[in-house]
């Protein structure tokens, strides 16, 4: 009798043993998708290996599902590695990796490729133009050629200033990989913000691109998954979870904008898609290509240690100049005349560009009308009843909203505490800027792009299309407008407040600010006319703000890496965040203290630094009190040993307290 071990699609940890009936043996192999009796019902799972053991009450595999629903070997291995690395049950990882509905029912017949192309948006008519590569592009392509020809794993970091033509390098590398009979995985931070990238891949590889993203219906996702699994798609383009796409013949993984925090899954099974992309390339013997104008300090450190090969594009294509970036010191009252939000230098520059028929991007990383409402008479701040955060004022209709739990209530006209009518709004958001623009530029339509205007399935594409077609000259928005967009008509970028985010209590606040400012600046001057950028700030001397004035990332990275080393933060050390939450604050605090006690008594205690336990910066969320404890060490083995033991001990039986382990956290709030 053949005995197997299987991982079951359920959060119950561990492997399960089954017998495999003779008639199923010919079709079963590691990675096969199985239907398994489980408890009193049945579940699906995957065959891990043939090392099952004879046990009383051993049950038999009910069914081996069709081969096209199985996992390729490197993917089975990747999910197993991820489960171990992130301290998550393997079943949880697989549930995140394999979209729901993939195994349901029978696979449908093949779909004609035209159907998929029809799905691609017509709002970008980019032809399959091939540019003659610049010298720097040619050098990068040659290095990629060499890596691909060598076969086997390697990672290359492509640091290219904004507008240097990184996408062209991705496309050429993809061409080579496909010519060699391979498949290509392309990860992007958010599909709705990358229509140009999608169009360029689709026109270069017509009918051979499958797209995987979170706004798809189950059926769309399932079709894309199956096309990928069958090897029909040469290129799979997707967001974070696409790192688990079932490509049987992976040769190249591209991670565009590799520094983006959205590659980190922040809830449930927490993983970093960029890091898993590199691991996956290792397991598949493929080449990983990480691209960015503002590489993460983690990737830069890997390049310095020569784990990654660094490729650089230091100039824009067609000898176009990088934008001229200037600061506007908002402390100076004379710049605030017609408006407190839009300085005279910015208004004058806007008037000039609007007169010339050119386009403008305005960036403010704060949505809503105002971020706080405070009573001048008694000082009361209007807060969320469920979370320890101020409510944001939204207008038309006037409403107070919690940006964390979505609590809503009508905007009060008097102070809820003392009934005073003296109410002060502070911290302008995009809605306030929009109304200010309406007052100052009544004849110019404005496209506003933030989470509130992009809830619909096609709203991103509609708004970006309106701006791309030049039906509007002004695009205003949050970080959504800072991403990889290539609008040649934009000659002015205005940053309404460069300081938003600088003082968030997170060790990456500076890095993130520098990245956003550099990225948004890079939207200016990408066409035939040069660009200007005006950064309004109250902190003109802050290193992250100053770094946005400098071309290239060396200066900032050098400074910041030194700080991280000094203060023991990544990439100088590795970090694990242990988060506790519960409805009873005393219980949460006690559980946190107990865990800290266990950490202090752990055999590896002298090798692992510990911060906390302390209330999280967001001390209460959805009525749950939150505490955290940070573990950090340069000794990964010691850090993991301690984390494993602490995770295993959990909250020591305090069932009302939840413990979450976040390995390599992206935010430590």
Residues in touch with ligand ADP (CB under 6 A): 131-134, 137, 160, 162-168, 317-318, 484, 486
| Strands in 459-558 per DSSP E | 474-477, 490-495, 532-537
**Minimum separation from the CB atom of position 274 to Zn ion (A):** 30
User: Could you say which of Zn ion, ligand ADP, none residue 133 binds, taking C-beta under 5 to 8 angstroms by partner kind?
Assistant: ligand ADP
263 and 272 in contact (C-beta within 8 Å)?
yes
Options 112, 138, 417, 636; binder of Zn ion; rule CB under 5 A: 417
Choose between 132 and 601: whose C-beta lies nearer to ligand ADP.
132
Pick the piece of the chain touching Zn ion (CB under 5 A) from 31-39, 396-404, 464-472, 593-601.
396-404
Report, in Å, the least distance between residue 423 CB and Zn ion.
8
Kindly give the pairing relationship between strand 287-292 and strand 250-255.
parallel
562 vs 558: CA distance, rounded Å: 6
Asked if residue 303 binds Zn ion (CB under 5 A), the reply is no
| Residue 12 contacts which entry, ligand ADP, Zn ion, none (Cβ below 5-8 A, type-dependent) | none
d(CA 293, CA 523) in angstroms, rounded, equals 12
Stretch (H or E) spanning 465: helix 459-468
Phi, psi values for residue 584, rounded to 5°? -105, 115
Cα-Cα-Cα-Cα torsion 186, 191, 194, 196, nearest 10 degrees, comes to 80
Tracing tokens 């696409």 back to the chain, one arrives at 242
User: What residue 380 binds from ligand ADP, Zn ion, none (CB within 5 to 8 A, per partner kind)?
Assistant: Zn ion
114 binds, among ligand ADP, Zn ion, none (CB under 5 to 8 A by kind): none
Contact partners, residue 43, CB within 8 Å, separation at least 6:
8, 9, 10, 35, 36
Q: b vs e for 467-492, b when ≥16 Cβ sit within 10 Å of the residue's Cβ? A: bbeeebbbbbbbbbbbbbbbbebbbb
Closest CB to ligand ADP among 165 and 368? 165
Helix (H) / strand (E) element for 361: namely: strand 359-363
Closer residue to ligand ADP in complex, CB, 387/490: 490
In terms of Cβ atoms closer than 10 Å to its own Cβ (0-12, 13-18, 19+), residue 397 is exposed
**Residue 486 interacting partner from Zn ion, ligand ADP, none (CB closer than 5 to 8 Å by kind):** ligand ADP
CB of 250 to ligand ADP, least distance (A): 23
**128 vs 378 by CB, closer to Zn ion:** 378
Phi and psi (nearest 5°) for 378?
Answer: -115, -5
Residue 164 binding result from Zn ion, ligand ADP, none, given CB thresholds of 5 to 8 Å by partner type: ligand ADP
Residue 211 C-beta: closest distance to ligand ADP, Å: 19
Q: Which residues have C-beta within 8 Å of that of residue 118, sequence separation ≥ 6?
A: none
- Site for Zn ion (CB under 5 A): which residue of 161, 212, 384, 638? 384
Residue 421 as a binder of Zn ion (CB under 5 A): the answer is no
Contact partner, 15, from ligand ADP, Zn ion, none, Cβ < 5-8 Å per class: none
Beta carbon nearer to Zn ion, 230 or 386? 386
Of 167, 174, 186, the closest CA to residue 144 belongs to 174
The DSSP bridge partners found for residue 474 are 360, 446
Q: How far is the CB of 400 from Zn ion (least distance, A)?
A: 10
Output the smallest distance, CB 127 to ligand ADP, in A. 10
What string of DSSP letters covers 325-352? EEEEETT-GGG-SS-SSS-HHHHHHHHH
Asked if residue 506 binds Zn ion (CB under 5 A), the reply is no
Nearer to ligand ADP, 160 or 571 (CB): 160
SS3 content of the chain, % helix, strand, coil (to 5): 35, 25, 40
Q: Of 128, 95, 518, nearest to 265 (Cα)?
A: 95
403 binds Zn ion (CB under 5 A): no
The whole-angstrom separation of Cα 411 and Cα 479 is: 26
Q: Quick check: 591 binds Zn ion (CB under 5 A)?
A: no
- Residue 632: count other Cβ atoms within 10 Å of its Cβ: 18
Closer residue to ligand ADP (CB): 131 or 471: 131
Minimum separation from the CB atom of position 387 to Zn ion (A): 3
- Nearer residue to Zn ion within complex by CB, 301 or 391: 391
- Residue of 1, 27, 414, 418 that binds Zn ion (CB under 5 A): 418
Specify the residue, 384 or 638, whose C-beta has the smaller distance to Zn ion: 384
Nearest to 290 by CA among 419, 159, 115: 159
What is the CA 370 to chain-centroid distance, rounded? 26
Alpha-carbon gap, residue 557 to 302, rounded angstroms: 13
Contact between residue 133 and residue 172 where contact means Cβ atoms under 8 Å apart: yes
Assigned token pair, 539? 């902190």
Tell me if 447 contacts Zn ion by CB under 5 A.
no
Picked from Zn ion, ligand ADP, none, the partner binding residue 85 (CB below 5 to 8 A depending on kind) is none
Binding partner of 510, given ligand ADP, Zn ion, none, CB within 5-8 angstroms per partner class: none
Q: How far is the CB of 426 from ligand ADP (least distance, A)?
A: 36
- Residues forming a β-bridge with 360: 474, 492
Q: Residue 163 touches which of ligand ADP, Zn ion, none (CB < 5 to 8 A by kind)?
A: ligand ADP
Supply φ then ψ for residue 295, to 5 degrees.
Answer: -55, 150
Round to whole Å and give the CA distance between 357 and 350: 11
Least CB distance from residue 484 to ligand ADP, whole Å? 6
Residue 404 near Zn ion by CB under 5 A: yes
Q: Considering only residues 180, 356, 378, 414, which one is a binding residue for Zn ion as defined by CB under 5 A?
A: 378
Q: Is the dihedral of CA 480, 216, 211, 48 positive or negative?
A: positive
Of 282 and 292, nearer to ligand ADP (C-beta) is 292
> Which residue, 272 or 315, has its beta carbon nearer to ligand ADP?
315
The answer to whether 402 contacts Zn ion (rule: CB under 5 A) is yes
Binding partner at 223 among Zn ion, ligand ADP, none, C-beta below 5 to 8 Å by kind: none
Pick the closest to residue 78 from 213, 226, 246, 214 (CA basis).
246
Token pair recorded at residue 257: 């904008």
Q: How many residues bind Zn ion (CB under 5 A)?
A: 15
Residue with Cβ nearer Zn ion (375 or 502): 375
Q: How far is the CB of 357 from ligand ADP (least distance, A)?
A: 20
Q: Which is nearer to ligand ADP, 162 or 454 (CB)?
A: 162
* Nearest distance from C-beta of residue 252 to ligand ADP, angstroms: 17
The binder of Zn ion chosen from 62, 310, 377, 617 (CB under 5 A): 377
**Which positions lie near Zn ion, rule CB under 5 A?**
375, 377-378, 380, 384, 386-387, 402, 404-405, 407, 415, 417-418, 420
């Amino acid at each position: 009798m053949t005995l197997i071990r299987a991982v079951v699609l359920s959060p119950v940890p561990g492997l399960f043993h089954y017998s495999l009936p003779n008639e199923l043996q010919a079709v079963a192999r590691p990675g096969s998708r199985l239907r398994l009796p489980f408890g009193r019902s049945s579940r699906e799972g995957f065959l891990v290996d043939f090392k099952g053991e004879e046990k009383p009450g051993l049950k038999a595999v009910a069914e081996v599902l069709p081969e096209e629903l199985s996992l390729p070997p490197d993917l089975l291995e990747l999910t197993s590695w991820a489960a171990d690395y992130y301290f998550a049950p393997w079943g949880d990882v697989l549930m995140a990796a394999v979209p729901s509905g993939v195994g349901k029912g029978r696979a449908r017949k093949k779909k004609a490729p035209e159907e998929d192309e029809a799905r691609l948006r017509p709002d970008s008519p980019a032809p399959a133009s091939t540019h003659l590569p610049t010298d720097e592009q040619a050098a990068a392509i040659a290095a990629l050629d060499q890596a691909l020809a060598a076969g086997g794993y390697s990672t290359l970091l492509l640091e290219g200033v904004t507008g240097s033509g990184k996408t062209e390098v991705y496309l050429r590398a993809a061409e080579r990989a496909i010519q060699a009979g391979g498949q290509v995985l392309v990860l992007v931070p958010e599909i709705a913000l990358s229509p140009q990238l999608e169009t360029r891949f689709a026109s270069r590889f017509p009918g051979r691109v499958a797209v995987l993203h979170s706004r798809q219906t189950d059926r769309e996702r399932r079709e894309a998954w199956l096309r990928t699994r069958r090897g029909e798609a040469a290129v799979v383009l997707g967001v974070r979870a696409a790192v688990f796409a079932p490509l049987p013949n992976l040769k190249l993984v591209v991670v565009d904008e590799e520094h983006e925090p959205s590659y980190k899954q922040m809830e449930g099974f927490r993983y970093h898609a960029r890091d898993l992309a590199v691991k996956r390339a290792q397991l598949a013997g493929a080449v990983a290509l990480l691209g960015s104008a503002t590489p993460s300090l983690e990737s830069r450190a890997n390049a310095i240690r020569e784990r990654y090969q660094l490729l650089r594009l230091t100039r824009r294509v067609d000898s176009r100049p990088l934008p001229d970036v200037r600061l506007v010191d908002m402390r100076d009252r004379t710049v605030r005349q017609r408006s407190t939000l839009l300085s005279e230098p910015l208004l004058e520059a806007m008037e000039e560009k609007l007169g010339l028929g050119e386009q403008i991007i305005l960036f403010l990383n704060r949505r809503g009308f105002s971020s706080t409402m405070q009573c001048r008479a008694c000082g009361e701040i209007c807060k969320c009843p469920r979370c320890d955060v101020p409510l944001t004022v939204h207008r038309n209709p006037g409403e107070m909203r919690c940006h964390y739990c979505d609590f809503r209530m009508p905007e009060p006209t008097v102070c809820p505490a003392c009934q005073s009518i003296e109410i002060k709004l502070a911290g302008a958001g995009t809605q306030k800027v929009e109304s200010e623009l309406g007052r100052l530029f009544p004849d110019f339509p404005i496209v506003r792009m933030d989470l509130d205007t992009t809830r619909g399935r096609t709203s991103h594409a509609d708004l970006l299309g309106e701006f791309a077609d030049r039906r509007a000259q002004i695009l205003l928005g949050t970080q959504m407008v800072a991403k990889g967009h290539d609008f040649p008509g934009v000659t002015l970028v205005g940053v309404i407040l460069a300081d938003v985010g600088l003082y968030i209590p997170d060790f990456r606040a500076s890095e993130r600010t520098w990245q956003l400012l550099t990225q948004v600046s890079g939207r200016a001057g990408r066409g035939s006319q040069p660009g200007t950028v005006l950064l309004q700030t109250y902190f003109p001397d802050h290193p992250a703000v100053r770094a946005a004035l400098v071309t290239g990332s060396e200066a900032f990275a050098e400074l910041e890496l030194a700080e991280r080393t000094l203060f023991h933060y990544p990439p100088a050390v590795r970090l694990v965040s242990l988060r506790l939450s519960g409805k009873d604050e005393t219980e949460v605090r006690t559980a946190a203290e107990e865990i800290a006690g266990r950490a202090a008594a752990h055999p590896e205690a002298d090798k692992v630094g510990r911060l906390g336990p302390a209330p999280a910066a967001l001390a209460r969320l959805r009525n749950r009190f939150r505490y955290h404890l940070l573990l950090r060490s340069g000794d990964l083995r010691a850090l993991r040993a301690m984390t494993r033991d602490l995770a295993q001990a959990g909250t020591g039986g305090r069932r009302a307290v939840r413990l979450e382990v976040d390995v390599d956290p992206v935010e430590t709030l």
